[in-house]
Amino acid sequence: ISLVFYFCSFVFHRFIAKPCALGLKVQANGPQKAQPNAILEKVFTAITKHPDEKRLEGLSKQLDWDVRSIQRWFRQRRNQEKPSTLTKFCESMWRFTFYLYIFTYGVRFLKKTPWLWNTRQCWNGYPYQPLMPDLHYYYIVELSFYWSLMFSQFIDIKRKDFGIMFTHHIVTVTLITFSYVTNLTRVGTLTLCLHDAADVVLEAAKMANYCKCQKLSDLLFLTFAIVFIVSRLGIYPLWILNTTLFELYEALGNFPALWVFNVLLVILQILHCFWSYLIIKAAYKAISKGKVAKDDRSDIESSSDEEETVPRSKTPHSTITTNGTGGANGTNGYLTGGTCSEEH
């Protein structure tokens, strides 16, 4: 089923999301490309994408460029591998569509169940609880989607919190699988639906941002911040953790699966706390500056990134180096020194 999700994602991106993005005039071009340079390209691909100060100084002498220009080249080259705004919009639209569908399905399913209104019903008759077709479908779809997310994370947009997100996906997949195998599916459905609520708003905020609808993006982001914090720092521990840590123990006593399940749920709560810190930090900037600040997990490096931490080359240059060896004549056409403008 995860392979089906990959195929559906491709079809959705190509025939639905992309036409919508172009209709909304989402920018299709990617970040500015670095000027061709054989020596720097070799260092970038074979040695390091983040040269240290010593290597920058050596390249500066070899190429007769100032350090700041070399830094800029490496930053542009790194950003060059990043996806365009159009690609990011399509990815967010796909996730928004899935989260909206599965959240709506979860709400419609759960409102007919007794354990939504009384969490003690999650343990009534356990472990001999029938696996209803609707519940089975809900679990299989969610599990398949998160498996696809875990694998696609290696080829999708790279974020600064890649490790945290990968941990989150592993914990989520393990939780869904473990709760299914041990028939702890009733509380599992509550957990899944609770988590999907904030994700719907987050992806909508991203799409508004890519469409340059700043006011709508700000409003949706602040809404997401409220929904996330209320659901994952309030409802989740008071509703989900309360029933798994206390009501489950009271109803069934002590058994090994209980502790494994609760450890995974607590790890998930720790991740919630980390993300809540980032969200509150961004929301504070949004309120103080009048707009949502740049995402702390941004996948594109800013123009001032790293530049002020490395000194300029001692000798300013105003020549055009063209072969990557520091001579006055050559082939790469890179303009340096006084005539090399800052990119913004």
What residues make up the domain containing 151? 85-291
Residue 223 shares a structural domain with residue 93: yes
Judgement on whether residues 69 and 102 belong to the same structural domain of the protein: no
Position 280 in a domain: yes
Q: For 32-58, give one letter per residue: b (16+ CB within 10 A) or e.
A: eebeebeebeebbeeeeeebeeeebbe
Can you give the pLDDT at residue 342?
33
Cβ 26 vs Cβ 89: under 8 Å = yes
Residue 252 lies in a domain: yes
Euclidean distance between CA atoms 107 and 98, whole angstroms = 14
Among 77-86, 191-200, 316-325, which is the least confidently predicted range? 316-325
Contact 225, 283 (CB under 8 A): yes
**Same domain as 71, residue 136:** no
Residue 65 lies in a domain: yes
Query: Domain of 47: which CATH number?
Result: 1.10.10.60
3-state secondary structure of 165: helix
- AA letter at 264: L
Residue 301 has pLDDT above 80, yes or no: no
Is the same domain home to 67 and 122?
no
pTM of the model: 0.75
Q: What share of the chain is helix, strand, coil (3-state, %, to 5)?
A: 70, 0, 30
Whether the predicted pLDDT of 315 surpasses 60: no
**Top-confidence range, 58-62, 93-97, 308-312:** 93-97
Same domain assignment for residues 144 and 62: no
Is residue 63 domain-shared with residue 200, that is, in the same domain?
A: no
Measure Cα distances from 276 to 126, 226, 248, 292, 305 in Å: 34, 10, 27, 15, 25
- Position 155 scores a pLDDT of 64
Q: What is the pLDDT of residue 79?
A: 82
Which pLDDT tens digit goes with each residue over 12-31?
988 999 999 999 988 776 66
pLDDT at 334: 32
**Is there a single domain that holds both residue 113 and residue 43?**
no
Supply the mean pLDDT for the chain: 81
Judge if 130 and 180 occupy the same domain: yes
Q: How many domains does the chain have?
A: 2
> Does residue 295 surpass a pLDDT of 90?
no
Q: Does 24 reside within a domain?
A: no
| Spatial distance between the Cα atoms of 12 and 158, rounded to a whole number of angstroms | 21
Which domain-ending residue is among 81, 112, 140?
Answer: 81
Which of the listed residues 63, 81, 99 is the one where a domain comes to its end? 81
Q: What is the pLDDT of residue 319?
A: 36
Look-up: residue for tokens 């602040």? Answer: 222
Query: Is the confidence at residue 170, as pLDDT, over 70?
Result: yes
* Residue of 276, 142, 300 lying closest to 210 (CA atoms): 300
72 with 196, same domain: the answer is no
* 279-302 average pLDDT score: 64
Which of 70-74, 82-86, 140-144, 265-269 is the least confident region? 82-86
- Residues 147 and 206 grouped into a single domain: yes
Residue 320 within a domain = no
Distance from the first to the final alpha carbon of the chain? 44
For 85-109, what is the mean pLDDT?
A: 94
- 40 lies in the same domain as 158: no
Residues 154 and 56 in one domain: no
Rounded average pLDDT over 44-53: 87
Mean pLDDT on 104-126: 95
Please tell me the least confidently modeled range out of 50-54, 165-169, 241-245, 328-332.
328-332
Residue 219 lies in a domain: yes
State how far the Cα of 24 lies from the Cα of 26, in Å rounded to an integer: 6
Is there a domain that residue 12 lies in?
no
Which CA distances in Å does 155 have to 7, 148, 152, 158, 164? 15, 11, 5, 8, 16
- Say which residue the tokens 């169940």 belong to: 113
Residue 244 counted as domain residue = yes
